[in-house]
Amino acid sequence: MMRNGRTSTVIVVAAVFLAAGCTSGGGTTSPAKPVEQGPIAKLSITPADGTKKVPPDTGISVKVTDGKVTKLTVADAKGREVRGSVAADGTWRPRWALRPSTAYTVSAQATGTDGKPVAAQAKFTTLKPKRVLESGMSPLDGEKVGVGMPVQLLLSQPITAKKDRARIERALVVRMSKPVEGAWSWVSDREVQFRPREYWPVGERVTVAAHLTGLRAGEHLWGTKDRSLTFTVGPSHITKVSDETHRAVVRENGEIVKTIPVSMGKPGDDSYSGTMIAQEKAADIIMDSATIGKPGEYRIRTKWNVRMTYSGTFFHAAPWSTGAQGSRNVSHGCVNASPDNARWFYEFTQRGDIIEVTGTSRKLQFGNGPTPWAKSWEDWLAGSALGKPVNG
């Protein structure tokens, strides 16, 4: 093997054999004509042998003169091969980016035009990131959720450039047992969510993989760990809360299963109108007005709490307002129900169930919790860096 600069090269030279002829009867011998040497086959690999600090998303170039590449493998130090393919320009690229701070070996084989095999090998090391992108995902792996539950990918660093957001979206794979149209949409610089165009089908099984290892997410910013989860969609629970009737009508798979008298936000503390989801559940909470900028107004323990917004809207038990439930609004913005009804609702509810509130003067703001249904499908698509739906 010969090296020229940083490019690893193997040269195959055909041996030339000269044969002498003999004559009988004392004749003289004459030299045979030399056999012409065929073209010299050369095989080169980039990144070259010994290269360090290679970006994980770099392609691998294998070139052969006077021959054809027949085999290419890329493997880490443990011998694990990396899946990839050769593009139209002849550059091999991994299916997903290589792992940072990792040594790789490229092994290439080719056949020269003279029919002889050529082989070459190069070892290189990927760079160590100056900045690392961490992530988290929701729902929980193995969780059963409601039909309105979005997938949330939470990021440790802000992603602002459209090209970087597009790279992240391309690294996110959604697989569904019943394929439906859906899309990713950026709800902030640190969060991108996936929702179907319509509510999830009942019984849907969804697997999400975030191939973030080696992903370039910004200047000197690289992902170092993949994420994945699988969840299933439970029965369709849709609750419609009306300010006009002071009732919450609860449906399961389209059938009414319970009607609950409620009291909502009093004037000045109006409840939010809009399509929300059950974000989390807590059997016991201390609600403190200081958390909404009104210290000293109230501090009370509440039972059977189902969160509807980040800002503190809950469906919960309120034994102190049972006399107003079904007729008047007296709460600080929450949906109040009797202890028995609130407990029933708490036990019935799955995270991701739909809760629609209508008739109040205050509109739900997008981003006040996971609120994917506060936007039209067209507006949701507009939040995607790729600008197109996904069919799982």
Any idea what DSSP says for residue 114?
Answer: T
Any idea what DSSP says for residue 276?
Answer: E
- Bridge-based pairing of strands 272-277 and 362-363 is parallel
CA atoms within 13 A on the CB side of 346: 23
| Annotated active-site residue in 211, 237, 316, 332 | 316
pLDDT tens readout for residues 139-192: 999 999 999 999 999 999 999 999 999 999 999 999 999 999 999 999 999 999
The residue count for the chain = 392
Where exactly are the structural domains of the chain?
A: 2-126, 131-234+377-391, 237-360
Partners of residue 275 on adjacent β-strands:
356
Q: Which of 209, 221, 223 is nearest to 161 (CA)?
A: 221
Q: Which two tokens stand for residue 249?
A: 């009508």
pLDDT value of position 288: 80
pLDDT value of position 344: 98
Residues 6+ apart with CB under 8 A from 65: 39, 41, 42
CA atoms within 13 A on the CB side of 60: 34
pLDDT value of position 254: 98
Topology (CATH) of 131-234+377-391: Immunoglobulin-like (2.60.40)
Partners of residue 237 on adjacent β-strands:
252
pLDDT value of position 257: 98
Q: Which of 345, 350, 247, 357 is nearest to 313 (CA)?
A: 357
pLDDT value of position 9: 36
CA-based max dimension of the chain:
135
pLDDT value of position 160: 97
Residues 6+ apart with CB under 8 A from 52: 124, 125, 127
Any idea what DSSP says for residue 312?
Answer: S
Q: What is the CATH number of domain 237-360?
A: 2.40.440.10
Measured between alpha carbons, how far apart are the two ends of the chain, in Å? 48
CA-to-CA separations, 139 to 61, 142, 144, 250, 312, in angstroms, rounded: 40, 8, 9, 23, 20
Active site residue 22: no
pTM (two decimals): 0.85
pLDDT value of position 87: 83
- Bridge-based pairing of strands 237-242 and 354-358 is parallel
pLDDT value of position 38: 60
Pick the CATH number of 2-126 from 3.40.250.10, 3.50.50.60, 2.60.40.3780, 1.20.1110.10: 2.60.40.3780
- Residue 3's identity, in one-letter code, is R
In CATH terms, are 2-126 and 131-234+377-391 the same topology?
A: yes
| Helix (H) or strand (E) segment spanning residue 323 | none
Q: Which two tokens stand for residue 378?
A: 């067209």
> Which strands, in side-by-side order, build the sheet including 60-65?
2-4, 7-12, 41-46, 60-65, 91-94, 84-86
pLDDT value of position 101: 97
- How far is it, in rounded angstroms, from Cα 368 to Cα 353? 16
Average pLDDT across the chain, whole number: 90
Active site residue 334: yes
- How far is it, in rounded angstroms, from Cα 128 to Cα 311? 40
φ, ψ of residue 320 in degrees (nearest 5)? -75, -15
- Low-confidence stretches of the chain (pLDDT < 50) are 1-27
119 touches 64 (CB < 8 A): no
pLDDT value of position 11: 32
Q: Which of 371, 122, 388, 362 is nearest to 264 (CA)?
A: 362
pLDDT value of position 33: 55
Q: Which two tokens stand for residue 33?
A: 């004509």
Q: Which two tokens stand for residue 299?
A: 């501090």
| Annotated active-site residue in 237, 246, 332, 334 | 334
Residues 6+ apart with CB under 8 A from 182: 174, 194, 195, 196, 197, 389, 390, 391, 392
- Residue 234's identity, in one-letter code, is G
- Residue 214's identity, in one-letter code, is G
